[in-house]
């Protein structure tokens, strides 16, 4: 096994905290990469996390100590490329071992121009972010003073439209893998696993985030899906206007950023969590059944409870009691903050795609058995 050349690197947070390590992945321009530093608690699924467009603008710290041990493959990408600013790990596996593996994590990072840093005391880093909150940072092979200046100048994600950097340019169609519905999915940073679930309900047309509501309704969909995506929902006024024109005209289902945008359209306030929810082990209570679902989550912003008079609360986070799901009382629409598609898992909440089918059936009637023209 060839030993990798070690190049010293450092991570500096905006508050001046310094973490030493070694460079992995691509070499950033000028030896400096910047972004908002967050931590993710998944034990598996690092490839899905890194290729999730919801991480645009962010540097991902993995709390699991060993990353890269089962390699990577083309089938587990959640998008066309990673949009994150960088990756921080404790120990990057020197050898991959899995029958599905076609490459290693370091190679994936280099191929897509994503810089990383390994050998970092991620336990100390995570504890610091948990106490001080997610914040801008800079890492790379440049000197600490240069990295500190870059961290201080990094704007983070507040007030920035990051959706524009990840959405598709033109509409595309995903063929049905089982159902006969016609669904339009807004791409705010949509994940491949979500599309696999939606295509089980019918044909899915993916449209850019700025697509007018009139164009969507002209397609005569059975339902409209509002996808996950990165960053602050605050700047997305035009998107909320389009959602407002869809409500009452067609069934709507939203996930993650789509949930925040639906809630915002209904008048809800959103706020930024101290360090966000990023991981595959968040307990959520379904208020209608009392069941506790273990969920996958990835968001920094949250809907304020009690700020929507026309909805009922359907799900709540048991760690911090934050809003995890809503259902509209006067129009056919619902949403959840977490990820029911959860690639690679957990799978406790996949029933929500069936609930989307039930909602479409209640408005549009049963799905045609012979397909649609």
Catalytic residue among 154, 293, 339, 357: 339
The Cβ of residue 182 has, within 10 Å, a number of other Cβ atoms equal to 21
Question: Tokens in use for 370?
Answer: 């012979």
In eight-state DSSP terms, residue 63 is: -
The CA-based angle 150-155-158, given to 5 degrees, is 155
Radius of gyration of the chain (CA): 21
In eight-state DSSP terms, residue 371 is: -
Can 339 be counted among the known catalytic residues? yes
Can 355 be counted among the known catalytic residues? no
Can 168 be counted among the known catalytic residues? no
Catalytic residue among 84, 256, 302, 328: 256
Answer yes or no: are the C-beta atoms of 256 and 225 closer than 8 Å. Answer: no
Cα–chain-centroid distance for residue 163? 11
Spatial separation of the C-alpha atoms in residues 168 and 316, rounded to whole Å? 32
Spatial separation of the C-alpha atoms in residues 189 and 167, rounded to whole Å? 6
Spatial separation of the C-alpha atoms in residues 183 and 236, rounded to whole Å? 22
Spatial separation of the C-alpha atoms in residues 304 and 64, rounded to whole Å? 31
The CA-based angle 244-247-249, given to 5 degrees, is 125
Compute, in degrees rounded to 10, the torsion defined by CA atoms 240, 246, 247, 253. -80
Of 357, 359, 352, 262, nearest to 311 (Cα)? Answer: 262
Pairing of strands 135-140, 91-92: unpaired
Residues 6+ apart with CB under 8 A from 192: 77, 78, 79, 343
Which residues are known to be catalytic? 256, 339, 341
């Amino acid at each position: 096994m060839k030993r990798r050349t070690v190049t010293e690197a450092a991570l500096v947070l905006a508050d001046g905290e310094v973490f030493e390590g070694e460079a992995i992945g691509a070499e950033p321009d000028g030896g400096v990469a910047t972004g908002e530093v967050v931590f993710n608690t998944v034990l598996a699924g690092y490839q899905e996390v890194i290729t999730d467009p919801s991480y645009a603008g962010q540097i991902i710290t993995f709390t699991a100590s060993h990353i890269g041990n089962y390699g990577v493959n083309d089938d587990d990408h959640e998008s066309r490329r990673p949009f994150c600013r960088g990756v921080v790990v404790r120990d990057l596996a020197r050898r991959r071992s899995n029958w599905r593996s076609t490459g290693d994590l370091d190679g994936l990072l280099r191929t897509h121009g994503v810089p990383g840093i390994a050998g970092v005391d991620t336990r100390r880093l995570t504890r610091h972010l948990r106490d001080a909150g997610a914040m801008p940072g800079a890492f790379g092979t440049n000197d600490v003073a240069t990295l500190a200046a870059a961290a201080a100048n990094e704007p983070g994600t507040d007030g920035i439209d990051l959706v524009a950097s990840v959405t598709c340019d033109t509409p595309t169609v995903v063929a049905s893998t089982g159902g006969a519905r016609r669904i339009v999915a807004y791409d705010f940073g949509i994940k491949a696993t979500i599309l696999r679930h939606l295509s089980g309900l019918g044909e899915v047309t993916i449209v850019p985030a700025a697509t007018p509501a009139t164009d969507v309704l002209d397609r005569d969909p059975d339902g409209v899906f509002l996808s996950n995506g990165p960053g602050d929902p605050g700047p997305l006024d035009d998107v909320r206007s389009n959602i407002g024109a869809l409500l009452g005209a067609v069934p709507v289902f939203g996930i993650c950023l789509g949930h925040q945008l639906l809630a915002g359209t209904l008048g809800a306030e959103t706020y930024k969590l101290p360090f966000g929810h990023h991981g595959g082990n968040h307990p959520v209570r379904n208020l209608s059944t009392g069941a506790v679902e273990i969920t996958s989550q990835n968001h920094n912003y949250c809907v304020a409870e009690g700020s929507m008079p026309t909805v009922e609360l359907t799900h709540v986070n048991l760690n911090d009691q934050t809003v995890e799901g809503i259902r509209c009382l006067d129009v056919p629409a619902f949403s959840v903050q977490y990820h029911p598609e959860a690639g690679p898992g957990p799978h406790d909440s996949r029933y929500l795609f069936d609930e989307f089918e039930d909602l479409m059936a209640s408005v549009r009637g049963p799905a045609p058995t012979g397909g649609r023209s």
